[in-house]
Amino acid sequence: MKKHRDAEELLTIVIEEAKASLKRTPDLLPVLKEVGVVDSGGQGLVYIYEGMMAALRGETTDDYATEQPTMEELVTVEHHNIQGDMLLKTSSLATVLK
């Protein structure tokens, strides 16, 4: 295992690996692949790491650009939530009817 003496260098590697892992999450959870999204917890962790990097570099939140979701992305997420709710209600009904 390589030792790192530079926090910025180490955090750069952590962010790269976290993003690579995040891209693989749809392959790990079929429901994510079905709706074309990545794991939200993993995405949140990437944002935390990026915030740590920004702080390490002395950047302020004004310096750090954030991406706003598109309407299509918002609809996809909402569709995923509705499908999940319907699936839960359907399986609950099937259990009651047994």
Q: Specify whether the backbone of 65 is left (phi greater than 0), alpha (psi in -120 to 50) or beta.
A: beta
Q: Residue 3 has what pLDDT?
A: 67
Q: Residue 1 has what pLDDT?
A: 59
Residues 45 and 63 in one domain: yes
Residues 37 and 61 in one domain: yes
Residues 23 and 4 in one domain: yes
| Mean pLDDT score across all residues of the chain | 78
36-81 pLDDT per residue, tens: 889 999 999 999 999 999 999 988 766 656 677 777 777 776 555 5
Residues 48 and 74 in one domain: no
Q: What is the dihedral of CA 67, 28, 1, 11, to 10 degrees?
A: 10
Q: Determine the angle formed by the axes of helices 40-56 and 7-28, rounding to 10 degrees.
A: 170
Residues 32 and 60 in one domain: yes
Residues 31 and 72 in one domain: no
